[in-house]
Amino acid sequence: MDDNNFIDSANIQVDIKQIWESAKNFVSTQVSGVSYDVWIDTLEAVDLKGNTLVLSTPSASSQNVLKQRYKTKIAAACNKAHSAITDVEFIVESQSDETLKEESENTNETVTIEKKPTLTSSTFNQKFTFDNFVIGSSNQFVAAAAKAVAERPGTNCNPLFIWGGVGLGKTHLLHAIGNYITENKKNMNVVYVTTEKFTNDLIASIQNSKKGANSDFREKYRTCDVLIVDDIQFIINKNSVQEEFFHTFNELVMNGKQIVISSDKMPRDINPLEERLRSRFESGLIADVGVPDIETRIAIINKKAQLERYNISREAVEYIAEISKTNIREMEGRLSRAVFYSGLIGESITSLETTREALKDMITEDESQIDANKVLECVCKFYSIKKEELLARKRTKEVAQARQIAMYLISELIPMPLASIGNIFGKDHATVIYAKNKISEDMQKSKKLAIEINDMKQMIKGK
């Protein structure tokens, strides 16, 4: 098989797979981690035509994105990797036997990941590692902070206070810190506790001491090297727990031990909370896990599918990512449901149709109430243009922007696969991605546009 990689082009014997591997390394330094995972890492070098390296991509839509957004960078990287290559071309990989074979080979790789030795004493979920945590612009900072703490506990970022909405990866990061330290710093004693368990342990220890029994509560929580406390927001209204936690906190920090805390709110919004505790929470580094953008969500599903060895079509992945905008746990639930449903009907690869069918009852009313027509009408009204103009191929600058705004709004407000949004306009899914990115960028540059779009959103939602 390796021999097939060698191509004799203009008398230069080159191993295209190897060249592509080095080129990929160059590209990875030029694009964001998520873009790399979604668009670049899935490419494969298949041929060399003259000085053009032919790369195969899984779908026609990614082919367009690659052409529009990454071609120059990829060509430059390939040229760096081998000076004989001056250009690249993208072809769409056919679902041939070859592809299926490779997919099953890829799946095998994940077995090795899963077969890492499990630390029996560990209280940490072995799947919640840094490797399995997908980084995008929303969580880049918090992930870097968590990694820094895991590498050098107790030295800075103390306490590290991680906050953010439900299902966005807080517990995952806490476990990732725990897993990392247990694996790399074997002499360190890491204690992970939910606020609920801390409370229960404290109550038990008070009851024990009343009976004259010895309590190891303080021994456990005040002598560890790293204390990780999940969901601290549940500490409100529990005075004795707040008091105990305050002393535990002081004792640990004074001795240079690391504290990591998670919460669904920022310290200033946890109420009622003793002021002295709030100021402790604010004394280190506060970082939030934001709501991930579409590319990060796609990458998270792909990661999960790889770990769980799910076989799911790209369109289905995009659909699930599209309809799950604010909660990753919910998104993962939708993924498992779709795969399960597809297994029941004997599908070998979970398709878009099956996914839609499996999830049709799970989409909340809010998400399904608005239809695309409403968005089109609103955009037309706002910019005083006719719907035919908006949908026509004509390209005056104003209409082109209105069309991109319509695509952007539909994708923001309606759980629809990107390809179906594209269909409305006679375009493909890559055009929709392009429009979304373009409008997001334009909104950052122009406050006026951001306000207009927000107004349209409110109009569409009927507010």
Per-residue mark of binding to ligand ADP, 99-128 (x: CB under 6 A):
-----------------------------x
**What's the closest the beta carbon of residue 332 comes to ligand ADP, in angstroms?**
5
Interface with ligand ADP, residue 144, by CB under 6 A: no
Cβ neighbours around 76 below 10 Å, total = 16
Indicate which single residue of 61, 139, 199, 431 sits in contact with ligand ADP (rule: CB under 6 A). Answer: 139
220 binds, among Mg ion, ligand ADP, none (CB under 5 to 8 A by kind): none
The order of strands in the sheet holding 285-288 is 190-194, 226-230, 258-263, 160-163, 285-288
The token pair that represents 208 in the structure block: 């024990």
Residue 133 lies near ligand ADP (rule: CB under 6 A): yes
The residue written with tokens 């560890």 in the block is 224
Q: Does 171 bind Mg ion (CB under 5 A)?
A: yes
- By CB under 6 A, tell whether 170 contacts ligand ADP: yes
Residue 104 CB burial class (10 angstroms; 0-12, 13-18, ≥19): exposed
Residue placing its CB nearer to ligand ADP in the complex, 170 or 314: 170
How near is the Cβ of 227 to Mg ion at its closest, in Å? 16
Beta bridge partners of 223: none
Q: Which is nearer to ligand ADP, 20 or 133 (CB)?
A: 133
The stretch near Mg ion (CB under 5 A) out of 29-37, 163-171, 288-296, 386-394 is 163-171
Which residues 352-371 are close enough to bind ligand ADP by CB under 6 A? none
Rounded to 5 degrees, what angle do the CA atoms 236, 238, 240 make? 140
Using CB under 6 A as the binding rule, whether residue 134 contacts ligand ADP is answered as: yes
* Cβ closest to Mg ion, residue 192 vs residue 319: 192
Q: What is the dihedral of CA 409, 413, 417, 419, to 10 degrees?
A: -10
Q: In the complex, what is the shortest distance from the CB of residue 128 to Mg ion, in angstroms, rounded to a whole number?
A: 10
- Is the CB of 170 or the CB of 314 nearer to Mg ion? 170
Q: Binding string to ligand ADP for residues 314 to 333, with x set by CB under 6 A, is what?
A: --------------xx--x-
Minimal distance, residue 169 CB to ligand ADP, in Å = 3
* Per CB under 5 A, 195 contacts Mg ion: no
Cα(429)–Cα(294) distance, integer angstroms: 13
- Taking CB positions, which residue lies at the least distance from ligand ADP? 169
Order the strands of the 44-49 sheet from edge to edge. 44-49, 52-57, 87-92
Per DSSP bridges, beta strands 258-263 and 160-163 are parallel
Dihedral sign, Cα of residue 389, residue 394, residue 398, residue 404: positive
Residue type at position 185 = K
Judged by CB under 5 A, the chain residues 226 through 265 that form the site for Mg ion are: none
Please, what is the minimum distance in Å from the beta carbon of residue 171 to Mg ion?
3
Q: Are 429 and 61 in contact (CB under 8 A)?
A: yes
Q: Find the largest Cα–Cα distance for the chain.
A: 88
Least distance (Å) from ligand ADP to the CB of residue 444? 23
- Tokens representing 314 are 């790209």
Nearest approach in angstroms of CB 306 to ligand ADP is 11
To the nearest whole angstrom, how small is the minimum distance from the Cβ of residue 262 to ligand ADP? Answer: 7
Count of CB atoms situated within 10 Å of the CB of 26: 16
Task: Compute how many residues bind ligand ADP; rule: CB under 6 A.
Answer: 17
Q: Identify which range of 40-48, 80-88, 170-178, 253-261 contacts ligand ADP by CB under 6 A.
A: 170-178
Tell which residue, 260, 284, 85, has the closest CA to residue 176.
Answer: 260
Determine contact, residues 89/344, Cβ cutoff 8 Å.
Answer: no
Does residue 238 contact residue 270 with C-beta atoms inside 8 Å?
A: no
Residues 264-303: x where in contact with ligand ADP by CB under 6 A, - otherwise, as a string: ------------------------------------x--x
Distances, alpha carbon 36 to alpha carbons 62, 123, 145, 340, 436, in Å = 12, 33, 22, 29, 18
- Cβ of 395: how many Cβ atoms within 10 Å? 8
166 contact choice in Mg ion, ligand ADP, none (CB below 5 to 8 Å, kind-dependent)? ligand ADP
Counting contacts by CB under 5 A, is residue 324 touching Mg ion? no
Site residues for Mg ion per CB under 5 A: 170-171
Footprint of ligand ADP (CB under 6 A): 128, 132-134, 139, 166-172, 300, 303, 328-329, 332
